[in-house]
Structure 1
Amino acid sequence: MSQPVVNQSIPRRRRRRRGSAESPPGTVVTYLRVSTSEQALSGLGLEAQRATVAAYAERKGLTIVGEHCDEGISAKSLRGRPAALAALAAVRAGGAAGLLVAKMDRLSRSVVDGAGLMEQAAREGWALHFADLDIDTGTPAGEMAANIIISGSQYERRLISQRTRDALAAKRARGERLGAAPSLPLEITRRIVAERANGMTFQAIADGLMADGVATARGKARWYPATIKAVTTSDNAAEVA
Structure 2
Amino acid sequence: MENTPRLVGYCRVSTLEQARDGLSLEAQEHRLRAYTTAQGAELVAFEIDDGISGATPPERRPALARALAMLRRGQADGLVVVKLDRLSRSTRHVLDLLDAAQRNRWRLISVAESLDTRTAVGEFTTTILAGLAQMERKLIGERTREAMSRITDRARSGIVPFGYRTDANPDSLRVCANDRSPLVAHDEEQAVLRRMLALRDEGLGARRIARSLGVSPRTGRPWTPSGVQKVLRTAERRRAA
Q: What TM-score does the superposition give when structure 1 sets the normalisation length? A: 0.50
**Which of the two has higher C-alpha Rg?**
2
User: Which of 1 and 2 has higher RCO (CA within 8 Å, sep 6+)?
Assistant: 1
